[in-house]
Structure 1
């Protein structure tokens, strides 16, 4: 069950993030911790990486916004971080960064049957994802792709 203050805290964190050139990526309230922990993940609006200094610099204005809001009446710990990259590739930047990395591409074939292909990511274009499977190039229509995920080199 989500914490009852989660929507209010998300609105506050989102507005504070925007004021400082960030976007709110995630917010968690760990009420079972003593003291309660508020975890906030931020990302840069322009797609640049979030540095440790960015997180440290955002901590003070976010802490001040929380104090001024009076949403939290008990002691809490504020943690600021960035989400980093997940295993699923989504943005153009992800596909550029992880070219030549091992991936699993899950897609539907022409009969609508789900397929999984493991290979090395070569590129993503407007229409296709190209991977190399044991030296052979496989082209998969982007319209049929369900997900592209990073994998370990051994699969």
Structure 2
């Protein structure tokens, strides 16, 4: 389940990322940790995401978050680049990783399951399509919690 502050944090982080020629890949706020962890995954639009990109984003976002005071509790801010094993979120990622092995998790059962493994076929406005052992499985997007890449050996 997405934390209610994610939308507001995204609205604050996106212009900063754009100013630095970055894009926001994912934002997660884990309140089950002590202190809570706000993790923002960024991607450089023109090349590899560098440590310098992460440092600049961290400094500017921290300044904005502290100024707006939208997070009442103590938290740690972590800026990183998404790795190959991370979650697919953007249309670009779903197009780029067609044909790759993925794991789809749903928040409520679909066809009596909450996890589906297969090869990513596509995604449209209504469904995520997987090839599961030669059969095409349509998973309603409103049920999808997460789509993550898996290595072929998993």
1:72 aligned onto 2:49: no
Aligned twin of 1:126: none
**TM-score of the superposition, structure 1-length normalised?**
0.56
Aligned twin of 1:59: 58
Which has the greater radius of gyration?
1
Q: Deviations over 1:50-74 (max 9, x none)?
A: 0122212221111111112211122
5+ residue gaps, structure 1:
96-103, 108-113, 118-147
* Residues 1:86 and 1:34: Cα distance change in structure 2 (over 3 Å): closer
Whole-angstrom distance in 1 between the partners of 2:66 and 2:7: 17
Aligned twin of 1:124: none
For 2:14, what is the secondary structure of its paired residue?
A: helix
Residue pairs, 1:1-155, within 5 angstroms:
1-46=1-46, 48-86=47-85, 90-91=95-96, 151-152=152-153
Shift of 1:105: 6.1
Whole-angstrom distance in 1 between the partners of 2:60 and 2:85: 27
5+ residue gaps, structure 2:
99-117, 122-130, 135-148
For 2:37, what is the secondary structure of its paired residue?
A: strand
Q: What RMSD, in angstroms, separates the aligned Cα atoms of the two structures?
A: 3.0
* Residues 1:85 and 1:7: Cα distance change in structure 2 (over 3 Å): same
CA contact (8 A) 2:44 2:53 kept: no
Shift of 1:85: 2.4
* Residues 1:149 and 1:12: Cα distance change in structure 2 (over 3 Å): same
